[in-house]
Structure 1
Amino acid sequence: MLQTIAFYLFATLVVASAVMVIMSRNPVHSVLWLILSFFNAAGLMVLVGAEFIAMLLVIVYVGAVAVLFLFVVMMLDIDFASMRAGFVRNAPLGIAIALVLLAELVLGIGAYRAGALILGTPDGTAAPLLFESNIESIGALLYSRYLFLFESAGIILLVAMIGAIVLTHRERPAAHRRAHQDIGKQVRRNPKEATFNASPEIGKGIDL
């Protein structure tokens, strides 16, 4: 009974927050509703025993992707009037794309129910470990059967991260470059010369 109540609670909140993501006029509010949707989706994953997926939703999507969206939206200078005008102007294109995706979804479901798609059948090589959680079973599978693919994905992500750093790195001109910090010079300085009293004139600054 408790699981049923929790399921309907999480499911209702997921649907409601997903609707608010689309309906909110403020992009910051949309991102906050998206975070709420991720948390409730993680709760649904816990109910079905997929705690690994729930952890990924919280750590990866909420902790990284959604927070990144939030920072980007808050740092950008968004003109809401032009954004609404662009929405109205691009509405026919968005509706056309939505109809195409809906047609593809209906076609795929119809083909699956008609038996035209032959899905793979489990051969037992990826069976979960006995008396172990699904996280331990996934770990054992990743580091045994799919070790090469797992390491390849890690290398691709590392190369992508290095490439993003290289592409966004800009050398500043010498005039705008910050002064180099000399630790030895700071240690060797005379404490009596570290500070000094100044009596600036009114309306004039201090020459450093």
Structure 2
Amino acid sequence: MDVKTGFFYLFSVVLLFAAFRVVTARNPVHAVLYLMLAFSQASAVWLLLRAEFLAIVLVLVYLGAVMVLFLFVVMMLDLNMDSLRAGFWKHFPLAALIGVVIALEMAWVLMGGFGSAGQAAADAAVQAAIAQGGNTKALGLLLYSEYVYPVQVAAVILVVGMIAAIALTLRRRKDTKTIDVKDQVRVRASERLAVVKLAATQPPAPVAAAQEGTTEEKKA
């Protein structure tokens, strides 16, 4: 076993352990940290596969921006994991069934795509692009030629997810107190300020001074 194979097994073992701890960690902050470790190991595996562009994008985008944002959001929300894990075993059979179905679908797609004539032609085109301009050029040719429709579908799904997240965030909730901007603009001073006359608890300054002088004279 050479050095490259040893590093591959090392990064793969750490990646599997980190992925397992992401779904089993009780603390959400620890889960996010394990996810960052998993992404770093995945980028190392991509470096071994000579996919430098994907490795750098994974580190810059996910580790440098997205995961840091997730970490800050999880720390600020202070999630109650006990309430989230209340129905775990109740929904576990359905979740396990869905996971098995997804795994079988992925295996069917991956095994059916290998060894075909189209795959051989695509591999030849990729090798030619790598020889001419590197793997970044080859990735661009594949994304915008052979896989242009899956890329567009993935982009539409991401846009729909973003719009749904914004809609869920901006929905009106009964337990929040919001102020309408139109009501703030149309407000009048008479509606906000009320002058109430109250009886004086202390006499004015001249009267108080006169009373003090009278008291001193009586004492003398």
Q: TM-score range by the shorter chain?
A: 0.5 to 0.7
**CA apart distance, 1:166:** 7.9
**CA apart distance, 1:16:** 1.1
Output the TM-score relative to the length of structure 2. 0.57
Cα distance in 1 between the residues matched to 2:50 and 2:110 = 30
Identity %: 36
The structure-2 alpha-carbon separation of the partners of 1:38 and 1:111, relative to structure 1 and needing over 3 Å to count, comes to: closer
Show CA shifts across 1:105-124 (max 9, x none).
Answer: 55x179739x9x95624266
**CA apart distance, 1:8:** 2.0
**CA apart distance, 1:136:** 4.4
Flag structure 1 segments of 5+ consecutive residues without an equivalent: 178-208
2:5 counterpart of 1:4 = yes
The structure carrying a bigger helix percent of its residues is 2
CA RMSD in angstroms comes to 4.4
Residue equivalent to 2:112: 112
Show CA shifts across 1:82-121 (max 9, x none).
Answer: 1221212222221222233344355x179739x9x95624
Aligned length: 173
Cα distance in 2 between the residues matched to 1:8 and 1:98 = 25
- The aligned amino acid for 1:38 is F
**CA apart distance, 1:65:** 3.1
The structure-2 alpha-carbon separation of the partners of 1:93 and 1:174, relative to structure 1 and needing over 3 Å to count, comes to: same
Flag structure 2 segments of 5+ consecutive residues without an equivalent: 172-177, 185-220
Give the 5 Å matches for 1:30-69: 30-69=31-70
- The aligned amino acid for 1:60 is V
**CA apart distance, 1:39:** 0.3
The structure-2 alpha-carbon separation of the partners of 1:48 and 1:89, relative to structure 1 and needing over 3 Å to count, comes to: same
Residue equivalent to 1:13: 14
Cα distance in 2 between the residues matched to 1:73 and 1:82 = 15
Residue equivalent to 2:202: none
- The aligned amino acid for 1:26 is N
Secondary structure of 2:87 counterpart:
helix
Residue equivalent to 1:194: none
**CA apart distance, 1:48:** 1.2
2:135 counterpart of 1:134 = yes
Residue equivalent to 1:80: 81
**CA apart distance, 1:7:** 1.5
